[in-house]
Amino acid sequence: MFNRRLVALASAAVFAFAACTTGSGASPSRSAAPSGAATSAPSSAPSGPATAGCTVGVSWNNYQEERWAKWDEPAIKAAVEAAGGTYVPADAKSSAETQLTNIENLISQGAQVLIILVQDADAIKPAVDSAISQGIPVIAYDRLIEDERALYVTFDNVEVGRMQAREIFKLVPKGEYAIIKGNNGDANADFLRAGYEEIIGAAVASGDIVIGGRETYTDNWDPALAQTEMEQFLTASDNKIDAVLSENDGMAGGVIAALAAQGLDGKVPVSGQDGDLAALNRVALGTQSVDVWKDARELGKAAGEAALQLCGGTAVDAITGAAPFETPGGNTVSSILLKPIPITKENLQVVLDAGWITKDALCQGVTAGSVGGC
Amino acid sequence: MTEASGVRPTVAAGRPRPTVRSLLQSIEVDTRLVGMIAALAIIWIGFNVLSGGLFLTPRNLWNLSVQSATVAIMATGMMLIIVSRNIDLSVGSILGLTGYTMAMLQAIWIPTTFGLGFGQPYTWIVALIVGLVLGAAIGGFQGFIIAYGGVPSFIVTLGGLLVWRGLVFEINDGQTISPLDSTFSLLGGGPSGSIGEMASWALGILACVVIVLTLVRSRRQRRKYDFQMRPMWAEFALGLFGCLAVLAAIVVVNSYPWPEQLARQFAEAQGSPWPEGGLKIPTGIANPVLIAIGVAMLMTVLATRRRFGRSVFAIGGNPEAAELGGINTRRTIMLTFVLMGILSAVSAAVQSARLNGAVTSLGTQIELDVIAAAVIGGTSFSGGIGTIPGAVLGAVVMQSLRSGMLLLRVDSPIQDIVVGTVLVAAVGLDTIVRRRSAR
């Protein structure tokens, strides 16, 4: 009985270990096998003073999302290693509790500065507090931490909203709008909506733009759900919708599928953000009007460089490019806000030049020469 | 529907008393099914009143039928799994993985990796077959561990939920794959993905004939074996009701015309001028609905007319007795999971074709809707009880609530609250009624 259990346990362990090794072999960018390294690896990193290169601990909230692994991590890693520093990652797998443990682990592995992509902005506070009081500076990466001593590095999300609304408003200054928002309770969904309000608020008030209740949150930013929402909006208003503000590219895909079923794709302007390859292709095809592109590599680089400066003893408000930022919680944090770029069919060349997308992917199904870049 | 009542334990019937219930029992109609249809009617009429007549329009009902298809297809399989006292939590992730694989095949692997180019006539069928085989393999793998390894299905499929979703991210760093092959997209419905007016009528009439023939055959069989027969008027009423329901549905889908923009494009492509009063092309039954109906019919036969289905119900009723009675319980359980995997892949094809793309979140949390549909449809967690029409109706009830609330512009958190409440209330009510009738 005991033996059998032992065998089962051992084989499970072997299996888990094998999974880790193949995982890191397959994709070199993930060689550190985040969670494993954070929880079980002995602390090999030097824990001495900052003179011998800086150890930067990075706590990811969920490494499974395409973006972090593909764009953000390599950029942070490159920036840190270029200056002779060491990059130590940990993955919280969407668990606020795991993230707390990860941060303790990163500190015990000798991290001299922490970059944190938070899972839960409130739950993380005690860990951030304890790190900072131990003299370890903290960078809130992409998502806000309400702590005046932390540096906030992000894209300007309200500006993303403004850019989307600006493009759509330019195309449809008067008419019936629908607004497809992201996850209820994700602060970014409301930042974006606030950006919309700044651009179209006056026109809504004067009656030029009518929303009339065609505005909804979408659980988990789910594209299939966005498609159903759009179908119901079209049914309820007998197809009389002139423009759609969709907060990201995934949901824009669902919206455009619903429009296509009514033969309205390409006739009703739709917005999006993230620079999804499929969405950029839609911009080239003309079915999506604007895709606000946030070059995650810039964000990673900015965070990596800021981390090195913090390591060298620079104060949070003296970091290059940092400015005070009023948070929704009423705090003033020092922050680096990067500007996103709205991609329309006028400037598709930008994403090509940046190597973000290949010409084949961008121009699939597009008549050659019909838009710049294809 | 009559077949369905045959699988319910007759013990619960009790002594007939002169009530509506006993009347329904004497004509052997599943009372629970009648109750569900009544509940659905109340929901539909309620939404129609609240939305100012928008809900019961051909267009909305057509949309509703397409939106319900994905969950309905999977609910038929989930019914069998729950009946056998198991559960499958991994169906959403299987849907995600098979959908993503099919999308990769047609958007990247076939055209680019193998260099065969886009728009090949065989692309869609190759993608579909690979998806179905993958679904069967995943289901079989999980089923094997459950049936032969003796690991509880809750645990195995909970693991599957994580593993298969994780694999989706590993395949292509979680990028959105779009657009799909144009033939494959037809599986997702839309006006061009529907069968049109004539074919819809033909199918409707065929269904009518089948209903009548089934009634006649069943009566003949009963006479032959000296079983109790329904009164003649009841046979007529059932036949008439069934036929009318089918034909009414056909009238509804045929009175939803192609959207004007698409009709114009169609006229242009035909080179014919745009007529004065507009061009009305009836849409007909959408492909996803056709697939769902086909699946439901096959599953009904499998569940009630085949040895496999009867074994599943026997195992659910009493696993030890089934085993002693010579049923290969392990093989049967494993097969239910293979079936579930295949159905998940079918839904994946429909869902991704409808979205004209695959995203990593494809099918996230759909397992909850599928389980809820099966349970609202009268499937019992204590095993042995459940019907295919019930599960399909359960899916329609769920989707009616969701689309109705969207039509009324109710925001998503409130929708979740309503759906959750309805789920518990429906099962609670059902349990009370069942307990009372068992006394």
What is the CB neighbour count within 10 angstroms for residue A229? 29
| DSSP alpha helix (H) spans, B84-195 | 91-104, 123-147, 153-172, 182-185
Tell me the chain A residues in contact with residue B355 when contact means C-beta distances shorter than 8 Å: 223-224, 227, 253-254, 257
Interface contact B176-A254, CB threshold 8 A: no
Interface contact A227-B169, CB threshold 8 A: no
- The Cα of A282 is separated from the nearest Cα of chain B by a number of Å equal to 9
Chain segment B182-239, per-residue pLDDT in tens: 899 999 988 889 999 999 999 999 999 999 999 999 889 888 888 888 888 888 888 9
Q: Which two tokens stand for residue B208?
A: 């009518």
Interface contact B259-A227, CB threshold 8 A: no
Name the residue of chain A whose CA is nearest to B190's CA.
Answer: A261
- The Cα of A272 is separated from the nearest Cα of chain B by a number of Å equal to 14
Interface contact B357-A223, CB threshold 8 A: yes
CB of B226 less than 8 A from some CB of A: no
What is the CB neighbour count within 10 angstroms for residue B57? 17
Chain segment A151-175, per-residue pLDDT in tens: 999 998 899 999 999 999 999 999 9
Query: In this structure, which CATH number among 2.40.50.140, 3.30.9.10, 3.30.465.10, 3.40.50.2300 belongs to the domain A2-156+296-338?
Result: 3.40.50.2300
Mutate to test the interface with A, among B178, B265, B266, B274 (most CBs of A within 10 A): B178
Name the residue of chain A whose CA is nearest to B404's CA.
Answer: A232
Residue B120 binned pLDDT confidence (cut-offs 50, 70, 90): confident
Q: pLDDT at position A34, please? A: 37
Mutate to test the interface with B, among A232, A239, A363 (most CBs of B within 10 A): A232
Interface contact A261-B189, CB threshold 8 A: yes
Q: pLDDT at position B79, please? A: 96
Query: How far is Cα A276 from Cα A292, in angstroms, rounded to an integer?
Result: 10
The angle at the Cα of B349, spanning B145 to B337, to the nearest 5 degrees, equals: 20
Interface contact B54-A235, CB threshold 8 A: yes
- The Cα of B173 is separated from the nearest Cα of chain A by a number of Å equal to 5
Interface contact B259-A254, CB threshold 8 A: no
Tell me the chain A residues in contact with residue B60 when contact means C-beta distances shorter than 8 Å: 235
- The Cα of B13 is separated from the nearest Cα of chain A by a number of Å equal to 42
- The Cα of A320 is separated from the nearest Cα of chain B by a number of Å equal to 33
Average of per-residue pLDDT across A260-282: 93
CB of B398 less than 8 A from some CB of A: no
Selecting from A216, A229, A250 the residue whose C-beta is nearest the C-beta of B359 gives: A250
Interface contact A220-B364, CB threshold 8 A: yes
Chain segment B274-283, per-residue pLDDT in tens: 887 778 889 9
For all residues of chain B together, what is the average pLDDT? 89
Tell me the chain B residues in contact with residue A279 when contact means C-beta distances shorter than 8 Å: 176
Instruction: Please tell me what DSSP assigns to residue B320.
Output: H
Interface contact A235-B63, CB threshold 8 A: yes
Tell me the chain A residues in contact with residue B359 when contact means C-beta distances shorter than 8 Å: 223-224, 250, 253
Mutate to test the interface with A, among B65, B350, B359 (most CBs of A within 10 A): B359
Query: How far is Cα A88 from Cα B64, in angstroms, rounded to an integer?
Result: 50
Residue A144 binned pLDDT confidence (cut-offs 50, 70, 90): confident
Query: In this structure, which CATH number among 2.60.40, 1.10.260, 1.10.3470, 3.30.1490 belongs to the domain B2-9+25-194+286-438?
Result: 1.10.3470
CB of B111 less than 8 A from some CB of A: no
Interface contact B407-A221, CB threshold 8 A: no
Residue with tokens 């006539």: B121
Average of per-residue pLDDT across B301-315: 94
Element (H, E) at B363: none
Q: Which residues touch A228 (CB under 8 Å, ≥6 apart)?
A: A254, A258, B67, B402, B403, B406
Interface contact A64-B174, CB threshold 8 A: yes
Max Cα–Cα distance, chain A, nearest Å = 78
Query: How far is Cα B414 from Cα B422, in angstroms, rounded to an integer?
Result: 12
CB of B191 less than 8 A from some CB of A: yes
Q: pLDDT at position A7, please? A: 59
Q: Of residues B118 and A238, which shows the higher confidence score?
A: A238
Q: pLDDT at position A40, please? A: 37
Query: What residue spans in chain A does CATH classification 3.40.50.2300 cover?
Result: 2-156+296-338, 157-294+341-363
Contact A257, B356 (CB under 8 A): yes
Selecting from A66, A231, A365 the residue whose C-beta is nearest the C-beta of B175 gives: A66
Query: How far is Cα A210 from Cα A204, in angstroms, rounded to an integer?
Result: 6
Q: Is A334 helix (H, G, I), strand (E, B) or coil?
A: strand
* pLDDT of B418 above 80: yes
- The Cα of B413 is separated from the nearest Cα of chain A by a number of Å equal to 8
| B404: nearest Cα among B143, B49, B112 | B49
Contact B355, A223 (CB under 8 A): yes
Selecting from A232, A250, A257 the residue whose C-beta is nearest the C-beta of B406 gives: A232
Q: Is the ipTM of this complex over 0.90?
A: no
Fold of A157-294+341-363: Rossmann fold (3.40.50)
Selecting from B355, B361, B402 the residue whose C-beta is nearest the C-beta of A257 gives: B355
Instruction: Please tell me what DSSP assigns to residue A335.
Output: E
Contact B174, A64 (CB under 8 A): yes
Selecting from B60, B179, B190 the residue whose C-beta is nearest the C-beta of A261 gives: B190
Which amino acid is present at A320? T
Chain segment A224-265, per-residue pLDDT in tens: 999 999 999 999 999 999 999 999 999 999 999 999 999 999
Tell me the chain A residues in contact with residue B56 when contact means C-beta distances shorter than 8 Å: none
* pLDDT of B31 above 50: yes
CB of B272 less than 8 A from some CB of A: no
Residue A13 binned pLDDT confidence (cut-offs 50, 70, 90): low
| A54: nearest Cα among A31, A30, A88 | A88
Chain segment A299-345, per-residue pLDDT in tens: 999 999 999 999 988 998 889 889 998 887 888 999 999 989 999 99
Name the pTM for this structure.
0.77
Query: How far is Cα B384 from Cα B337, in angstroms, rounded to an integer?
Result: 16
